[in-house]
Amino acid sequence: MKSSKKLSLLLVMTLILSLFLAACAGGSDKKDGDTSKEEGTTNADTKDDGGDLVIATISDAAKLDPHLSTDVPSANIQTNLFDGLVKKDENDNIVQNLATNWETIDETTWVFDLRDDVTFHDGEEFNAEVVKKNIERVLDEEVGAPRAFVFEVITAIEVLDEFKVQITTEFPFAPLLAHMSHPAAVMVSPKSIDEDYAAMEDGGEPGSVINLNPIGTGFFKFESWDPGTQIKIVKNDNYWGEEASLNSVTFKAIPEGGTRLAELETGHAHLIEPVQPSEVELVNDSGKGMVDEKISSSLAYVGFNLEKEPFNDVKVRQAVSMLINQDDILQGIYEGYGVAAVGPLAPGVFGYDDSMQPLSYDPTAAKELLAEAGFPDGFKTTIWTNDNQQRMDMAVLIQEELKQANIEVSIEIVEWGAYLDKTANGEHDMFILGLSNPVGDADYFLSQLFHSENKGVSGNRSFYNNPDVDQLIEDARKENEETKRLNLYKEVQEILIEEAPMVYVHHQAYLTGVSNQIEGYWIDSSGYYKLQHVRFGE
């Protein structure tokens, strides 16, 4: 640009100096470990700038309305946007969150004292009326919340004063506090709820407003969502508690494990999850990060559709279970990471019983059962999975192992959102899925996967229906005496192992690649990222 002759010498020198300083600030000289944006990273340049954390994960969220979603990728976003009355700490203890105190007035009545200094991201105030509105929305049949069973024992929510709420249950319910820590039990802006109901009255789907703009009270708030690509959340500067260290977090959906690994190695991502077991050594030896391993309370399983032949026959289900070599999956695909499952519950979950005996690998006995069921020459079926590499590998392994009994298996890979919808609708024969247990109690897990009232979207995608199991689950949730409750859950597990509505494969280890640049990250036993205290190091 030419200088005007009318410019004073002082102005010219000032301009030259400013351009020089700008050039220095944006220079391309790089020291070892430089992570400037020219190399694709987004971390902080100074301690005063929290930076942008980039997480490369296998799947995009399905829904951002916490009352309507059912999957871990969605919950991983929501758990950083929303607060519940209580939460679990790093040791799985129930601790205060939006509630400062709680007490039981009698066996069926709980009173919660609430914080009086909380506002939502849209400026709406949090109070007892908001708690009532949220719980009633989850229980509203018109909304159709798939996790309504989390609150189904609640018969009344009474506002005692502005910051005190009373909850009454139908019967004594020991795991109420645990259920209150569930991702579906978080508080959504009352204004958002009203707008969502208004959209429903105009013909919209439940959640149509909240999915597009989820508003909570959390330490991060929602900024944008490019479906199938990325979601961005930003720091809530008006958070009622300890503020997040980061300025923002970007969740990038990257299905391919090798691509996620490259993102970590090049500094384009700071967390990658999951790391494939075969990649653990590569990450640890890369000099760029280390793998964090967390044994989960989740269950990886192969489900059957019991409303379709031949899986309506228990002998067929038992036979398929005995044809699948659990050790081949755990060692061959997961390289020993995780714990072999005996039944549906993981060690550490209340109700787990280590005396349970599994349906062991036994091809000879399996073929005998198939002959008894009328399938001496096998049959044809399909197995579904989403584009999770480990699940796809598992499908191939199962396909090969079932060939030994002349069972011909076709593999279908379905996009994640459609996968959840189609399995909820019962369109499958066999399917591979997993379920986390965020409350750490048998009631949540067994009710969701096996109670007949939860068929379909609520979790029972095997469409299992056993009145005796229903009754045992209901009896156990009403029982406050711990030993009696454990005995009831033992009986349930014995039946579920025998009737084999699914193949209980393993309780996975969550493997996360963590960049050397960041500190303060942890993941809970349900697989939810805890990002409040994550920060970039020196």
Q: What is the reported pLDDT for 71?
A: 87
Q: What is the reported pLDDT for 258?
A: 92
Q: What is the reported pLDDT for 28?
A: 32
Element (H, E) at 263: helix 257-266
Alpha-carbon separation of residue 249 from 220, 256, 538 (angstroms): 9, 20, 19
Q: Is residue 372 within 8 Å of 308, Cβ to Cβ? A: no
Residue with the two structure tokens 């939860």: 454
Residue with the two structure tokens 């990257």: 254
10 CB-contact burial (10 Å; exposed 0-12 / middle 13-18 / buried 19+)? exposed
Residue with the two structure tokens 């109700």: 351
With b meaning 16 or more CB within 10 Å and e meaning fewer, what string describes 179-194? bbbbbbbbbbbbebbe
Q: Give 119's contacts (C-beta < 8 A, 6+ positions apart).
A: 125, 126, 217, 238, 240
pLDDT for 430-456, tens place per residue? 999 998 888 888 998 899 999 999 999
Going by their DSSP bridges, the two strands 86-88 and 99-106 should be labelled as unpaired
Q: Is residue 136 within 8 Å of 157, Cβ to Cβ? A: yes
Q: What is the reported pLDDT for 484?
A: 95
Q: Is residue 169 within 8 Å of 154, Cβ to Cβ? A: yes
Gap between the Cα atoms of 406 and 379, Å rounded: 7
Gap between the Cα atoms of 455 and 464, Å rounded: 7
The parts of the chain modelled with pLDDT lower than 50 are: 1-48
Q: What is the reported pLDDT for 25?
A: 35
Q: Give 32's contacts (C-beta < 8 A, 6+ positions apart).
A: none
Closest CA to 375 of 408, 400, 410: 408
Going by their DSSP bridges, the two strands 408-413 and 380-385 should be labelled as parallel
Gap between the Cα atoms of 39 and 41, Å rounded: 6
Quick one: tokens of 7? 């410019």
Q: Output 469-472 pairs: Cβ under 8 A, ≥24 positions apart.
A: 469/495, 469/496
Q: How far is CA 4 from the centre of its chain?
A: 63
Gap between the Cα atoms of 497 and 466, Å rounded: 13
Quick one: tokens of 484? 């009696």
pLDDT for 335-377, tens place per residue? 999 999 999 999 989 999 999 999 999 999 999 999 999 999 9
User: Which DSSP state fits 531?
Assistant: -
pLDDT for 469-521, tens place per residue? 999 999 998 888 899 999 999 999 999 999 999 999 999 999 999 999 999 99
Whether the bond between 310 and the residue before it is cis, its omega within 30 degrees of 0, is yes
Q: Give 5's contacts (C-beta < 8 A, 6+ positions apart).
A: none
Q: Is residue 343 within 8 Å of 506, Cβ to Cβ? A: no
This prediction has a pTM of 0.76
Q: What is the reported pLDDT for 527?
A: 87
Gap between the Cα atoms of 492 and 83, Å rounded: 33
Residue with the two structure tokens 């690649």: 513
Q: What is the reported pLDDT for 149?
A: 85
Going by their DSSP bridges, the two strands 430-435 and 380-385 should be labelled as parallel
Gap between the Cα atoms of 261 and 389, Å rounded: 14
207: left (phi over 0), alpha (psi -120 to 50) or beta: left
